[in-house]
Amino acid sequence: MVPHLFLGLGWSEWVALLSIIGLIFSNTRNSFSKIASNKAHEENQKTRETMQNFIYTVKKFEDKLASLNKTLDKVDEDIENLNEKYNDLDKRVVALETLNKIKNEDDTK
């Protein structure tokens, strides 16, 4: 006769029961681990897509900024040309006023 231990179960029965409990625990832990790994993978994928969209947006912004810089350079050139033309016109007006003064002085004499 086999001696019974705790709760009337023998050593081999306890080993089998603990093995089954360990196997269930191990499979449950692996399932949770797999779920966590899948969630982490999905989050990493979302983060990667977000970063790619951000990089694309930054590149578009850089292109727009470069275009704006070109436009501003052109505007600066146009302003310089207008200033030169205004100065030339101002000189002509001063010269005409001077000629008119001289002419008026000659007429009054």
pLDDT reported for residue 109: 63
* Residues 14 and 6: beta-carbon distance below 8 Å: yes
Contacts of 5 (CB under 8 A, 6+ apart): 11, 14
- Nearest-5° angle of CA 49, CA 55, CA 61? 140
3-state percent helix, strand, coil for the chain, nearest multiple of 5: 95, 0, 5
- Please classify residue 13 by burial: count the beta carbons closer than 10 Å to its beta carbon, then call 0-12 exposed, 13-18 middle and 19+ buried: middle
pLDDT reported for residue 73: 96
Q: What string of pLDDT tens digits covers the 109 residues of the chain?
A: 455 567 777 788 889 999 999 999 999 999 999 999 999 999 999 999 999 999 999 999 999 999 999 999 999 999 999 999 999 998 999 889 888 888 877 777 6
